[in-house]
Amino acid sequence: MKYVEHLLILTKHFIEGIPTETSVAALSDLLCCSERHVKTIVQYLHNHQVISWETQRGRGKKPKLTLHLNEDEVLLNETKKRIKAEQYQDAFVLMHRMSLPGKEKFRKWFSSSLGLLHKNEDNQSLDILRYPFYETDLTMDPLYITSRHDAHMVQQVFDRLVEYDTKTEQLLPSIAHHWESNDGKHWTFYLNKGILFHHGRELTSRDVQKTFDRLIKKKTFLINIKKITTLNDRVIIFELEEVDYLFPRSLSSMKASIIPFELLLADGEKFSNFPVGSGPYRLTQHNENMVRLEVNRYYFATRPWLDRIDIIKAPEEWEHKTDHPFLLNQPNEKWRQVKVIEEGATYITFNCNKDGPMRNKEFRNKICEMLNPENICNERSENEFVSISLLSQLSLTTQKKQIGRSKPLQYDGPILRIAAQQIRTGANHAKAAEDLAEQLKNIGIPSQVSLINSREIMSNSNLSTFDLFVGGIALGSDLLLSAVNALQSPHLTIYPCLDEKMKDFITRKMIEIRRSQEETFRWQTYYEMEEFLKSERAIFFLTHRSHSVYELTDSPYVNIKLNHHGRIDYRKVWKKYTFSN
């Protein structure tokens, strides 16, 4: 509505439903505009039935103005219009101006437009999921994803050569329909025909080669690749430096999503915000209001049931209050809690490479003996519990040692520098780092905390500056592979902070794991590595994190379930037919 700000001024000076004498001149002063413009405003508002304007006959008689809406009602009408026009940020700005009862009315109305909806749009029958989520500053170039939000979106938009099935713990075909190796060093992959990127070009082995060349240059987890050869458009061979029977599983990583390289070269920043993949959903909108995914109707594999997903960018506090199928609070007893533990952990790594007190194992040991992980956390809530490993099951089933109480140390060394990992604005490990600094202070060790971007945290300058790093990792669907990679990743804080003796031990154990084809042996060796790092006081585990939502017990929708990252895989949601009596 035009003149809504003028109408809001009127609501502060006139009482709803009560005719009040006024004048054009008085309204001119009130609205800070000319009398001529006042007449236009009044006529417009009168025609739209939000006020009544009655002129009275007779000398000295003033017109009467009657408001038909109060301030909350005016704002509510305007927010509804903004929502229907998908101008969500403007709508939420107006919502914040409402009183608490007004906000509650808006919340109830807004909730009715969310969830799983069946609509007919543009002569199409569509099943749509709409829900609010706070801004996460998504990065959707697979190479640079850093958060579970990024990885979840990449999973929907892109495909990988293979997929890892968490239920069966088996590797499944995707872009590649078959793979083989005779020696564990030479791996041949055969690609499916007719896979199209969202912009219409067919995916070939050349795209696979370009994707992995880029990963190798960035020194990712695929540093073992020695050479890549494309035999034709459908066959590609990877030659490795060392035997690695885990190699095919590495290719299910979200970072190994296959990209159309020419688009990346044309505009890398645009690709990061508006990527093109070959996955089951294509990104059609990504702005300050929403992220919209629409089904890829030419998808080579099983077409998802959901036709569209609208992720509305809402204020963070609003997302926790809104009623939709993926609730974060329980409205009544008909909704059951669905809770999942996020594999991975928050932890402290000690920089054993830097000159200074952290090179002394006895000093590290004294610090670890006094640390109380229950008092070092990112958020004071039931969603965190103490960890002793990257793996939650190990933490849940292992008896935790009693925390010792140390007396203040006779410390006269330098102020310790603590780096807190920052994933994005508002999402960081600053609270845990500050808790650590407080515990150090209690035993006489001064320290100071700095926030460091996760993409820069392992730079040479930071490695030579900081004594302790507080950060964390959420493991991927292939727990073994993800955990193994975490212990040797150059981009996480664990491996770069080890001294040469520790690195040598980890490297030898990694070779044993990758040369073995026995999963039990691989796990046993991984546990040895974790225990070694803990015994050397190179790492101190803090907490695991869990996620909770609520869903209707009699819902016809199938697979509305959280994965280990606290996200619902849109690809698997579908609706059962309900028979009426």
Pick out the chain residues at pLDDT < 70: 1, 220, 317-335, 378-382, 399-406, 548-553, 560-567, 579-581
**Dihedral sign of CA atoms 327, 332, 334, 339 in order:** positive
Indicate if the alpha-carbon torsion angle 433, 437, 443, 446 is positive or negative: positive
**Nearest alpha-carbon partner for 396 in 561, 521, 546:** 546
Type of residue numbered 421: Q
How far apart are alpha carbons 24 and 5 in whole angstroms? 17
pLDDT of residue 325: 46
What local confidence, expressed as pLDDT, does residue 318 receive?
59
C-alpha distances in angstroms, 562 versus 139, 280, 286, 545, 576?
Answer: 21, 19, 23, 14, 19
For the chain, first and last CA: distance in Å?
A: 47
The DSSP secondary-structure symbol of 121 reads E
Among 384, 357, 363, 378, residue whose Cα is nearest residue 421: 378
**What is the per-residue DSSP string for 36-98?**
HHHHHHHHHHHHTTSEEEE---STTPPPEEEESS-HHHHHHHHHHHHHHTT-HHHHHHHHTTS
Q: Alpha helices of 412-496 — where are they, by DSSP H?
A: 430-442, 460-463, 479-488
User: What was the pLDDT predicted at 457?
Assistant: 86
Residue 327 DSSP code = B
Domain boundaries, the chain: 4-69, 142-259, 339-545
Contact criterion met (CB below 8 Å) for 221 and 485? yes
Domain 142-259, CATH 3.40.50.150 — does that match? no
Give every CB contact of residue 391 below 8 A, 6+ residues apart in sequence: 343, 475, 479, 483
Residues whose CB falls within 8 Å of the CB of residue 32, separated by 6 or more in sequence, listed in order: none
C-alpha–C-alpha distance, residues 329 and 322, integer Å? 9
List, in order, residues 6 or more apart from 249 with CB less than 8 Å away: 162, 164, 171, 478, 481
pLDDT of residue 382: 65
Domains 142-259 and 339-545 share a fold: no
The whole-number pLDDT of residue 450 equals 95
CA–CA separation, 6 vs 39, rounded Å?
12
| pLDDT value at residue 1 | 56
- 121 vs 86: CA distance, rounded Å: 15
If DSSP codes are grouped into helix, strand and coil, which group holds residue 172?
strand
Tokens of 286: 């990504």
CATH of 339-545, one of 3.20.20.140, 3.30.420.40, 3.40.50.720, 3.10.105.10: 3.10.105.10
Q: DSSP labels for 540-567?
A: EEEEEEEEEEEEETT-SEE---B-TTS-
The packing angle between helices 71-84 and 88-95, to 10°, is 170
Q: What is the pLDDT of residue 166?
A: 83
Token reading at 251: 């290719």
Q: Tell me the β-bridge partners of 278.
A: none
Compute the Cα dihedral for 219, 220, 226, 228 and give only its sign. Answer: negative
- Determine how many CB atoms are found less than 10 A away from the CB of residue 140: 24
Q: So what's the pLDDT on residue 397?
A: 86
- CA distance to 97, 288, 323, per residue, from 90 (Å): 11, 10, 21
DSSP 259: -
Q: Which amino acid is at 70?
A: N
Identify the CATH number of the domain defined by range 4-69.
Answer: 1.10.10.10
Rounded CA separation 226/539 (Å): 31
Angle at 472 between CA 471 and CA 478, to 5 degrees: 160
Chain centre to alpha carbon of residue 397: 28
Tokens representing residue 140 in the block: 């959707």
Contact 331, 525 (CB under 8 A): no
